């Protein structure tokens, strides 16, 4: 059922819900949508004509927050109150970032409790999640202003190398900003989506995404097969980008052209405004040289000049570093440059002609650079949002399972067949057997979740496989298969392989499950991880003990006559001891008593086997 919302500005009813795509960048962020009439992705543009919102947050002494360009203007005057590059801190502990702390002009503190970094501004402390949420709030506000409707749902991109904690932090930032984050997707995946590479059915492609921004460089090697993106390798440098080119130009003017050296200010703040002017002019020169051969300008009344050739020489070592990373990534992926089917350019610095040329030469092919490299990631996120909204059926729905899927095994344990974050569609199977002699049915209970005991997970379905022909315990081979199709429907089937009896059921794992519930379930699995491991070990010990008791009982019933009364008493006593140990639920005790019962009964079993062997050999010739 489509949701209906009211456009407050016009009073009209909107049938379609808007899901926005957001590129939450280190330097700049932006928001994009797919236009409902033309189905074309566009970056949202404010009246000022700008799409990029600098990822900078300023707090004044009263705690008022400013985001974007107005905050950027305060970077030089109030460095301790103006926070940039918060993305570099997402999901990180102080230990993770302490070696980079020289990069940050603001105060990063280690609060010692949850070990995650916080930023101190005046007497207030902000987590990177809060800082990012201010940027997201600003983007949401802009989108609502431009679209004249409320925006509550989003797809947000993250670097391919982000770990679970960093992805979770990004989700939390979205939630804090009042956004329901439907999906976190990888930036290189989004860029490929924007170009529509590999998203048609039955298409298989290997792609390199070269992303050179203001302060970071990433190279990702991906494969796309049937609409499923897989990251094969990533490499890069978290402190390499257009800013380094600007700094190189500043140094060139200082060293070769004699622009006042004492006012360098890069970190020293001797003359902040002159240093800032030099940086701004250097960036302008760089941008100018992307389309011209010479730049001429003035800094503090003094003429400065740089040619394209000089600039290219200055940045050659920087470009060489990115190409080295490309080599390493290819090596990690086990590929050669000629095996790459498409190269996608992302990030403002890929506009530099020398960068483009080096990448073309390395991969030996033309590159995809037709889409604005600052916007391509957000546009791809919007394409993904459009697919999620069900407006785009041409492209496959790219998805992964948010939670693990499995069945209940003995002792109420969860046996995972498809782990969480597995690609969809997917298939997995495993063989099981019966516990009892002559068991004719088997109950298959399907669960979803990360906990070790099924009672803590979510039950999806249950069915009975009946008609298994009578066989001793352990002999039937029941193959359970999980198959998730491209629509996310899970088909569970069970087949007894010896007899061919089979049964199956269809379930919708995501049915009725909100994003919040998925997150809660994941969180619970982390909180209970230690207890769960202990509990699983106990349940396994109890299961083994039960099996040992059953085997011994069966043995005594069948072969009791070969045991002496003393031996019989020893067995029964040890069985009783094991039962007591099981009641105590002490894992170590259960294990040691099980082992003891095994020791007591093993000699009798061997004796019976020998007798059976002698019986079998009687009257037969041995060669
Ligand atoms: P991003 O982090 O992707 O927004 O990229 C920002 C970087 O791209 C900054 O260092 C900009 O100076 C740089 N940039 C933007 N436009 C150009 C251009 N036309 N030529 C060279 N560099 C550019």
Average pLDDT over residues 277-293: 95
Ligand 1 centroid from CA 314, angstroms: 17
User: For residue 185, what are its two tokens?
Assistant: 């997707």
User: For residue 253, what are its two tokens?
Assistant: 């003017």
Q: For a pLDDT cut of 70, what percent of the chain falls above it?
A: 88
- Distance between CA 341 and CA 63 in Å, rounded? 50
Domains assigned to the chain: 1-93+124-195+371-396 (3.30.420.40), 405-527 (2.60.34.10), 530-617 (1.20.1270.10)
| Ligand 1 near 214 CB (within 6 A) | yes
Q: Which of 209, 202, 214, 206 is nearest to 185 (CA)?
A: 209
Long-range contacts of 389-394 (CB under 8 A, 24+ apart): 389/16, 389/17, 389/18, 389/19, 391/16, 391/34, 391/36, 391/39, 392/34, 392/39, 394/200
- Distance between CA 166 and CA 42 in Å, rounded? 27
Annotated catalytic residue 87: yes
DSSP codes of every residue in 213-264: -SS-EEEEEEEEETTEEEEEEEEEETT-SHHHHHHHHHHHHHHHS---GGG-
Residues linked to residue 430 through DSSP beta bridges, in sequence order? 480
- Residue pair 259/185 in contact (Cβ under 8 Å)? The answer is no
Average pLDDT over residues 28-56: 91
- Distance between CA 535 and CA 413 in Å, rounded? 9
What's the pLDDT at 488? Answer: 67
Beta strand spans in 381-457 (E): 399-400, 405-409, 413-418, 423-424, 426-432, 442-448
Three-state DSSP class for 181?
A: strand
Average pLDDT over residues 111-135: 86
Q: Could you tell which of 241, 243, 281, 349 is best to mutate to test the pocket of ligand 1, judged by most ligand atoms within 8 Å of the CB?
A: 349
Q: What is the mean pLDDT of the chain?
A: 86
* Separation in Å, CA 622 to CA 608, 611, 613, 617: 21, 17, 13, 8
Average pLDDT over residues 422-445: 88
**pLDDT band of 603, cuts 50, 70, 90:** confident
- Distance between CA 220 and CA 235 in Å, rounded? 7
**pLDDT band of 104, cuts 50, 70, 90:** confident
Annotated catalytic residue 487: no
User: For residue 592, what are its two tokens?
Assistant: 């040691």
Closest residue to atom 19 of ligand 1, CA basis = 287
More confident residue, 270 or 545: 545
Q: Which of 179, 93, 102, 105 is nearest to 136 (CA)?
A: 179
Q: What is the pTM of this model?
A: 0.66
User: For residue 227, what are its two tokens?
Assistant: 């609409």
| Ligand 1 near 348 CB (within 6 A) | yes
Average pLDDT over residues 227-235: 83
What's the pLDDT at 613? Answer: 64
Task: State pLDDT tens for residues 149-193.
Answer: 999 999 999 998 887 778 888 989 999 999 998 888 889 999 999
**pLDDT band of 4, cuts 50, 70, 90:** very low
Annotated catalytic residue 23: yes
| Ligand 1 near 243 CB (within 6 A) | yes
Of 114-123, 260-269, 299-308, 548-557, which range is least confident? 260-269
**pLDDT band of 85, cuts 50, 70, 90:** very high
Ligand 1 centroid from CA 354, angstroms: 13
- Residue pair 381/189 in contact (Cβ under 8 Å)? The answer is no
């Amino acid at each position: 059922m489509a949701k209906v919302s009211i456009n407050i500005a016009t009073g009209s009813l909107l049938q379609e819900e808007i899901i926005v795509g957001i590129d939450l960048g280190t330097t700049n962020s932006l928001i994009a949508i797919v236009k409902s009439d033309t189905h074309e992705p566009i970056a949202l543009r404010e009246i000022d004509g700008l799409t990029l919102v600098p990822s900078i947050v300023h707090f004044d002494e009263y705690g008022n927050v400013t985001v974007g360009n107005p905050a950027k203007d305060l970077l030089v005057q109030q460095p301790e109150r103006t926070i940039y590059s918060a993305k570099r801190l997402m999901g990180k502990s102080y230990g993770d970032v302490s070696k980079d702390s020289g990069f940050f002009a603001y105060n990063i503190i280690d609060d010692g409790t949850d070990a995650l970094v916080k930023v101190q501004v005046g007497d207030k402390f902000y987590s990177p999640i809060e800082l990012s949420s201010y940027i997201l709030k600003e983007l949401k506000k802009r989108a609502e202003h431009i679209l004249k409707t409320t925006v509550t749902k989003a797809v947000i991109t993250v670097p391919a190398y982000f770990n679970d904690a960093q992805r979770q932090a990004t989700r939390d930032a979205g939630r804090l900003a009042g956004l329901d984050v439907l999906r976190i997707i990888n930036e290189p995946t989004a860029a490929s989506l924007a170009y529509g590479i590999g998203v048609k059915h039955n298409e298989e492609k290997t792609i390199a995404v070269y992303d050179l921004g203001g302060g970071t460089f990433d190279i990702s090697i991906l494969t796309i097969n049937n609409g499923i993106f897989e990251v094969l390798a990533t490499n890069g440098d978290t402190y390499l980008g257009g800013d380094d080119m600007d700094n190189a130009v500043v140094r060139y003017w200082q060293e070769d052209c004699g622009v006042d050296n004492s006012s360098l200010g890069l970190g020293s703040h001797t003359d902040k405004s002159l240093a800032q002017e030099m940086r701004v002019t250097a960036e302008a020169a760089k941008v100018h040289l992307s389309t011209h051969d010479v730049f001429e300008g003035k800094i503090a009344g003094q003429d400065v000049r740089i040619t394209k050739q000089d600039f290219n020489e200055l940045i050659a070592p920087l470009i060489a570093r990115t190409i080295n990373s490309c080599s390493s990534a290819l090596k990690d992926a086990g590929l050669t440059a000629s095996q790459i089917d498409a190269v996608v350019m992302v990030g403002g610095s890929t506009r530099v002609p020398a960068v483009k040329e080096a990448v073309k030469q390395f991969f030996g092919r033309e590159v995809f650079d037709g889409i604005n490299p600052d916007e391509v990631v957000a546009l791809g996120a919007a394409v993904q949002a459009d697919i999620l909204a069900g407006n785009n059926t041409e492209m496959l729905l790219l998805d992964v399972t948010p939670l693990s899927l499995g069945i209940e095994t003995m002792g109420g344990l969860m046996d995972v067949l498809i782990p969480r974050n597995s690609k969809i569609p997917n298939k997995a199977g495993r063989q099981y057997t019966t516990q009892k002699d002559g068991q004719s049915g088997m109950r298959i209970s399907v669960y979803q979740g990360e906990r070790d005991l099924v009672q803590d997970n979510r039950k999806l379905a249950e069915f009975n496989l009946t008609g298994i022909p009578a066989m001793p315990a352990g002999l039937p081979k029941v193959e359970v298969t999980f198959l998730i199709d491209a629509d996310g429907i899970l088909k569970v089937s069970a087949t007894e392989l010896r007899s061919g009896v089979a049964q199956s059921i269809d379930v919708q794992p995501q049915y009725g499950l909100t994003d919040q519930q998925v997150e809660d379930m994941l969180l619970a699995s982390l909180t209970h991880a230690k207890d769960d491991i202990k509990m699983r070990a106990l349940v396994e010990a109890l299961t083994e003990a039960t099996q040992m008791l059953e085997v011994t009982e069966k043995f005594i019933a069948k072969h009791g006559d070969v045991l002496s009364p003393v031996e019989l008493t020893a067995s029964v006593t040890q069985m009783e001891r094991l039962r007591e140990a099981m009641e105590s639920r002490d894992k170590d005790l259960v294990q040691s008593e099980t082992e003891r019962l095994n020791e007591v009964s093993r000699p009798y079993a061997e004796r019976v086997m020998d007798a059976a062997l002698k019986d079998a050999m009687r009257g037969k010739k041995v060669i």
